[in-house]
Structure formats: structure tokens, C-alpha cells
């Protein structure tokens, strides 16, 4: 054993069979869904649906959980998950910054997710961070763990959608509070100075996690021995965290190429929640959030015409396929009361916070930083402090605060 690593116990050698019915069901839904979306909307929209499925499969197989990564670092200074996030951001900025500076990719206009920075972003990201720990996942984590069979996360998702609709109803008030205009570091500094500055910060954060982890423990945790190798591991997982980080960055770049803007998740939740609100007697069309022609068209049209919605559906089904291939799709329907209350409270905070902050861990943090948006960095800082408070609150709801990273989306 190396002096700088802690060897992990080998995984059991028991063979876990593929959950064939779930795998066939997920595959059929992906194929039929792509055909239906291609016919009803466009082949490009169908490709985005399948791209969402690829994201779901990567998230599940790499167990790429932002929430758990931040929690184990806060609780015990274990930083492998944070270092993987820095790799993901580094690869993404290397791909995004030159293209965003040019304004086109493969002849198609592209733009980043750049938003104002103000009170609403800081408060929204902070409560989103609390919600991550109480709800048990971030935006991407909620979707892929739902697809993977977590019944508790269905509660988080339902509350997430409700909170997003409430945030959409209130956003005009929050947006009127003091704020800076949207600031793109790519446009302000130029792509190469902005890239150099971002890469330096990523390296600094990764280096800091190494120093703090070694100071606390004297050594790092070695990855667990994989139960599979070769093609079987590629198809059935689990994947190394860094492999997941690189794959997510590449798939986000593919989203930029197909959609003309980076990956996002939670705007679809606001749409679904607002449509549900209309069904029970509210008038979301009167909310300023839905006043622009594009937003009004989304509210009045089919969710299949909404890019974020079809990608979210794909993420769920891609994760279902991954869980079935891994032999881990086995939903359990019992949720303890305190855990259920935390899921609902966390989901509401996640949804409301995401709208106030102009995005979640994907749209604001991942894609925001990859877009060169200053608000993405502010989101990261505010959400981290929210995670600190959320981690402290978890035991009050009977939720574990683990000390080692593990294969989990929560």
C-alpha cells in the first residue's frame, strides 16, 4: 500500500445479473420516445432526448453526485469528488471558451448561460445548498437517482417542481433587488486570459482539497476495486469519477452544439410546475416570468418542444437503463417520516433557490462557469455555505453524514 493512499477493501465477487425487464423497458422507451419526438418536433430534438439519456447513464455509472461530494468534504475533508468536479470544469472551459468567443460552432450560433449577479443569486444558491443536503441530491442527482429507482427522491422531485413554480411566480420581485448586470469573463477579459484564470482557480481548489485531506488523514482514499473490467465495466459500471467528469464535460459541449446553449435542468421544473398550477386554477400566464414571447410559447406549448424537458426525461430513462444494466434497479417504497419531511423541505428549497439563482448545480455552477459567467462562481461559493448548514441539519432528520465517498447519488 502506498504511503499516500488508503487501500480500499475489494468488492464482493458475487455476480449481479442484469435486470432484464427494466433494461428492455428503458431501451424501448428511449427508442419509441426518440421516434415520437423526432416526428412531433424535429430530429434535432430527438437527438437532445438521447443526449439526455447519455448524461443519465454517465451520472449513474460514475455516481457523480455533487451533493455527496460536498458533504464528505465538509464533514471529513475527503476531496475526491470536488477534485473530479474541477477536472470536469477544466475540460468544459477548454472546450467552451474559444467557441463562445467565436460565437458559432459548426456554423450554428451559440451562447453561454450568463446571468446577473445579485441578492437573488446569493440567497437562491445558499438555500439551494441547504436543499441539496436535506433533499438528498442536486438537480442532476435528483433526476438520475429517480431513474435509478430511489423512491425517496420522487418526493424530492415533486417538491422541487413545486418550489420551481413558486420561484417563477416570485422571481420578478427578487430580480428587482440590487444586482450587477450579466458579466461574461470571456467577453470582458478575452477567452485566453479568462481560461488561464479559471484553470488556475480549478488547480488551486483541487490542490487545497489535497492539502486538507492529507492534513486531516495523512493519506488519500484509493478508489474501490471495480467488480468488472473492459466492455462489461463500460456498459454496466461502475466508472471512475474522473471518467464521469470528462464524459459530462464532453456531453455538455455536445449540448452546446445541438441546442446552441449549454446544459440546464431546472427551467423545465418551473415549466412543469407552472403547467400543473394552471390545471388547479392558478394563472401562471399572468406571472412576469412567462411574459416574453418565447416563455409564453413554452408555457402554452407541448413539453416535448422544450429542450430542457426532453433532456430531463432522457436523463431519467438513461439512469434507469444504467441501473438495470448494473443489476441495481430495485425500488423500495418505505420512507421514514423524518426522511420524507426532509425530502419535501429540501425539494422546495432546491426548486425555489434554483429559480432565484438563475440555475442549479448544472445551469448555474457547471454550465455557468463553463460559459464564463461571474454568477457561476458566486453560485458555487454561496451554495457551498448552504451545504455546510445543510450537512449540519441532516442528523435532525435521521439522515446520515458519511465520512467516506461511496457509490451514491445522494
The answer to whether residue 189 sits within a structural domain is yes
- High-pLDDT (> 70) share of the chain, %: 95
Dihedrals φ, ψ of 147, to 5°? -60, -30
For residue 291, what is the DSSP state? -
Q: Which residues make beta-bridge pairs with 221?
A: 6
Residue 113 has pLDDT above 70, yes or no: yes
Mean pLDDT of 178-191: 97
Say what the pLDDT of residue 315 is: 97
The answer to whether residue 171 sits within a structural domain is yes
Mean pLDDT of 327-354: 92
Measured torsion, CA atoms of residues 348, 409, 148, 140, in degrees rounded to the nearest 10: 50
Mean pLDDT of 79-106: 96
Q: What does the alpha-carbon distance between residue 352 and residue 164 come to, in Å, rounded to a whole number?
A: 5
The answer to whether residue 188 sits within a structural domain is yes
Cell numbers at residue 324, please? 438495470
Cell numbers at residue 294, please? 418565447
Residue 8 has pLDDT above 60, yes or no: no
The answer to whether residue 264 sits within a structural domain is yes
Higher pLDDT, 10 or 310: 310
Residue 2 has pLDDT above 90, yes or no: no
Q: What does the alpha-carbon distance between residue 92 and residue 254 come to, in Å, rounded to a whole number?
A: 11
The answer to whether residue 239 sits within a structural domain is yes
Mean pLDDT of 173-189: 97
CB 91 within 8 A of CB 250: yes
Measured CA distances, 130 to 289, 347, 356 (Å): 25, 10, 14
Total-model pTM: 0.93
Say what the pLDDT of residue 330 is: 79
Residue 176 has pLDDT above 50, yes or no: yes
The answer to whether residue 280 sits within a structural domain is yes
CB 394 within 8 A of CB 134: yes
Number of folded domains that form the chain: 1
Residue 9 has pLDDT above 50, yes or no: no
Say what the pLDDT of residue 333 is: 79
Residue 316 has pLDDT above 50, yes or no: yes
CB 85 within 8 A of CB 69: yes
Say what the pLDDT of residue 216 is: 92
98 lies in which domain range? 19-397
DSSP β-ladder status, 117-118 and 220-221: unpaired
- In the numeric block, the cell 418565447 is attached to 294
Q: What does the alpha-carbon distance between residue 226 and residue 43 come to, in Å, rounded to a whole number?
A: 37
The answer to whether residue 235 sits within a structural domain is yes
Residue 331 has pLDDT above 90, yes or no: no
pLDDT tier at 406 (50, 70, 90 boundaries)? low
The answer to whether residue 13 sits within a structural domain is no
Say what the pLDDT of residue 11 is: 39
Which tens digits make up the pLDDT trace of 46-62? 999 999 999 999 999 99
Amino acid at each position: 500500500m502506498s504511503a499516500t493512499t488508503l487501500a480500499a477493501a475489494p468488492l464482493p465477487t458475487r455476480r449481479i445479473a442484469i435486470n432484464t425487464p427494466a433494461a428492455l423497458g428503458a431501451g424501448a422507451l428511449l427508442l419509441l420516445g426518440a421516434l415520437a419526438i423526432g416526428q412531433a418536433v424535429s430530429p434535432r430534438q430527438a437527438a437532445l432526448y438521447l443526449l439526455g439519456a447519455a448524461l443519465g447513464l454517465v451520472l449513474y455509472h460514475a455516481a457523480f453526485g455533487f451533493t455527496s461530494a460536498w458533504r464528505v468534504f465538509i464533514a471529513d475533508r475527503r476531496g475526491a469528488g470536488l477534485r473530479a468536479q474541477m477536472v470536469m470544469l477544466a475540460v468544459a472551459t477548454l472546450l467552451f471558451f474559444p467557441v463562445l468567443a467565436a460565437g458559432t460552432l459548426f456554423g450554428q450560433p451559440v451562447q453561454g448561460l450568463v446571468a446577473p449577479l445579485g441578492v437573488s443569486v446569493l440567497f437562491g444558491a445558499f438555500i439551494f445548498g441547504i436543499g441539496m443536503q436535506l433533499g438528498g441530491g442536486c438537480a442532476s442527482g435528483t433526476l438520475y437517482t429517480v431513474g435509478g429507482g430511489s423512491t425517496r427522491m420522487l418526493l424530492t422531485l415533486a417538491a422541487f417542481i413545486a418550489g420551481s413554480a413558486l420561484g417563477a411566480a416570485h422571481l420578478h420581485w427578487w430580480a428587482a433587488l440590487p444586482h450587477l448586470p450579466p458579466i461574461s469573463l470571456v467577453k470582458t477579459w478575452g477567452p485566453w486570459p479568462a481560461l488561464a484564470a479559471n484553470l488556475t482557480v480549478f488547480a488551486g481548489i483541487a490542490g487545497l482539497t489535497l492539502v486538507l485531506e492529507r492534513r486531516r488523514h495523512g493519506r488519500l482514499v484509493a478508489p474501490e476495486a471495480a467488480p468488472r473490467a473492459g466492455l462489461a465495466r463500460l456498459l454496466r459500471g461502475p466508472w471512475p469519477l474522473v471518467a464521469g467528469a470528462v464524459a459530462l464535460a464532453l456531453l455538455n459541449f455536445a449540448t452546446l452544439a445541438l441546442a446552441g446553449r449549454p446544459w440546464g435542468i431546472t427551467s423545465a421544473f418551473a415549466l412543469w410546475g407552472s403547467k400543473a398550477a394552471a390545471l388547479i386554477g392558478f394563472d401562471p400566464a399572468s406571472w412576469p416570468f412567462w411574459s416574453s414571447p418565447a416563455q409564453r410559447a413554452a408555457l402554452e406549448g407541448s413539453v416535448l418542444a422544450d429542450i430542457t424537458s426532453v433532456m430531463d426525461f432522457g436523463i431519467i430513462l438513461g439512469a434507469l437503463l444504467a441501473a438495470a444494466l448494473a443489476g441495481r434497479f430495485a425500488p423500495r417504497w418505505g420512507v421514514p417520516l423524518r426522511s420524507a419531511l426532509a425530502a419535501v423541505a429540501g425539494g422546495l428549497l432546491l426548486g425555489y433557490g434554483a429559480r432565484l439563482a438563475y440555475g442549479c448545480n448544472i445551469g448555474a455552477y457547471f454550465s455557468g462557469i463553463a460559459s464564463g459567467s461571474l454568477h457561476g462562481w458566486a453560485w458555487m461559493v454561496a451554495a457551498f455555505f448552504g451545504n455546510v448548514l445543510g450537512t449540519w441539519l441532516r442528523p435532525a432528520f435521521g439522515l446520515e453524514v458519511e465520512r467516506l465517498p461511496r457509490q451514491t447519488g445522494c
